[in-house]
Amino acid sequence: MVCLPGGVGEGDVGVGGVGEGTACSGEGGVGEGAACTGEGALGSGEGAFGAGEGAAGAGEARRILLSPPDVGRGERAALLAAFDSNWISTVGPAITRFEEQMAAKLGRPCVALSSGTAAIHLALRLAGVEAGDTVICQSFTFVATANPILYERAIPYFVDSEPRTWNLDADLVEEAIRRLERKGRRPRAVMAVHLYGVPAEIERIASVCARYEVPLIEDAAEALGARVSGRPVGVHGQAAAFSFNGNKIITTAGGGMLAVRNEAEAARVRKWSTQSREAVAHYEHTELGFNYRMSNLLAALGCAQLEGLEAKAERRRAIAERYREELGGPGTLAFQREPEQCRATHWLTCALVHAEGQAGDRRRECRDALIAHLARQGIESRRLWKPMHQQPLFRDAPRLGGTVSESLFAQGICLPSSSALTESEQGMVIDGIRGYFGQRSLDSLARFTRPAIPPRVPDRKKQPT
């Protein structure tokens, strides 16, 4: 059976058609046809090209999406094996295996959860955040970083980014702590994000947090596989959250992981994630719990995906490099850079639109027109995250700075970056952007001969089913 890629909706960054025959052709168990109709069967949600809008249906040209899943036969086999084992539950051997494999990569105990958001929520509880506490939080991020602060009825204090990494500014964190101290308060936690797979200045942030004895939480949802001074992101603070939603560098359809400092903390988080059931024969509960555990089926998918993490990270880096080489320059795009001593994964390749000689408003118009131009060619691109301090939801929250993240939001664009993006698809994106900037339309694929790039990803349409 040959399936049409179904539209997948995520609400934040578009994920898209699942490769032919991946989740679509199982016998009975894995929704035959359900994920194949292009009608949003794998999820709907505004923002992404869900509901069949984004993925190609019969006879249509394939759309080029921002970050569709990169899954194959290994993942399908792992998922079906878990299904056949009948561990169709939030208990099972694949959960333990996935945690162990993540722990081996990070060198820290890990707890598998239902989402990255759940991981951030439990990290805040681990830090002791309670109602009325202040949490210093990077303003330039996706809302899932900040929402769990509200779950605990705490107060987010939004701090701006620095222009080098686009992430939390360590000097402003210190300034924010000092301002709170002058009012006789201290933050209960600091939340730093590694956005788009580019590490924050996490060593500097960690040393500020250590000096003032404030727990540091890393939101590494977008940065699995990134490193700082040779160490993985996610080991610099008290806890770190990772996401495996459908658009991330590896996916479990939906899921998350919390990395913590020791087994005692892991045991607490695991207990909270399973309704805080006490270790007795009957159902005994002494503290509040949550239904946040990852399912065994999804953990099996995660194990299979994790095997390919390094290759996927290298592919995303190569994609970013090619965009930069072929498109970067004055008057066009200025790309987010890999900071020194870091390995960025470039989960999404991002750039600022630099219309030469144009002021802010004109650049914004130029960026919006570029997104519309690409959309007409079936290419998805997106604006960067809107800073939290500009969100109506957080209008009463305190903040420090904001101009850096505001200008990133005003000028920034994310480009298709999936590790499943083929060379020819990337060539189409590059030609689309060149066309927009009025450059000569070149066959960028033919010009693209650098040997350092990892092997081509085969076009999924040509894969046997």
Ligand X SMILES: Cc1ncc(COP(=O)(O)O)c(C=O)c1O
Instruction: Note the residues at the interface with ligand X (CB under 6 A).
Output: 12, 115-117, 141-142, 144-145, 193, 219, 221-222, 243, 245, 256
CA distance readout (Å), 418 to 35, 148, 250, 345, 421: 20, 28, 10, 11, 5
Distance (Å, rounded) from C-alpha 148 to C-alpha 124? 8
Instruction: Tell me the closest approach of the beta carbon of residue 148 to ligand X, in angstroms.
Output: 9
Q: Which residue is nearest to ligand X (CB)?
A: 116
Distance (Å, rounded) from C-alpha 443 to C-alpha 405? 35
Dihedral, CA atoms, 53, 221, 336, 372, nearest 10 degrees?
10
| DSSP for 276-345, written as a single string | TB-SSSS--BSS---B-BPPHHHHHHHHHHHHTHHHHHHHHHHHHHHHHHHHBSTTSEEEPPPPTTEE--
Distance (Å, rounded) from C-alpha 317 to C-alpha 309? 12
Q: Tokens 């900071």 belong to which residue?
A: 339
Distance (Å, rounded) from C-alpha 310 to C-alpha 350? 21
Distance (Å, rounded) from C-alpha 444 to C-alpha 448? 6
Distance (Å, rounded) from C-alpha 155 to C-alpha 131? 8
Instruction: Tell me the closest approach of the beta carbon of residue 141 to ligand X, in angstroms.
Output: 5
- Nearer to ligand X by C-beta: 25 or 390? 390
Instruction: Tell me the closest approach of the beta carbon of residue 145 to ligand X, in angstroms.
Output: 5
Instruction: Tell me the closest approach of the beta carbon of residue 283 to ligand X, in angstroms.
Output: 28
Instruction: Tell me the closest approach of the beta carbon of residue 147 to ligand X, in angstroms.
Output: 9
Beta pairing partners, 343: 227
Q: Tokens 């959250």 belong to which residue?
A: 241
- Nearer to ligand X by C-beta: 22 or 167? 167
- Nearer to ligand X by C-beta: 212 or 290? 290
- Nearer to ligand X by C-beta: 221 or 388? 221
- Nearer to ligand X by C-beta: 141 or 345? 141
Distance (Å, rounded) from C-alpha 239 to C-alpha 38? 38
- Nearer to ligand X by C-beta: 82 or 240? 240
Judged by phi (left if over 0) then psi (alpha if -120 to 50, else beta), residue 164 lies in alpha
Q: Tokens 């399973």 belong to which residue?
A: 274
- Nearer to ligand X by C-beta: 113 or 155? 113
Instruction: Tell me the closest approach of the beta carbon of residue 123 to ligand X, in angstroms.
Output: 11
- Nearer to ligand X by C-beta: 388 or 420? 388
- Nearer to ligand X by C-beta: 3 or 413? 413
Instruction: Tell me the closest approach of the beta carbon of residue 194 to ligand X, in angstroms.
Output: 8
Look up residue 462 and give its DSSP letter. G
Instruction: Tell me the closest approach of the beta carbon of residue 302 to ligand X, in angstroms.
Output: 12
Instruction: Tell me the closest approach of the beta carbon of residue 182 to ligand X, in angstroms.
Output: 30
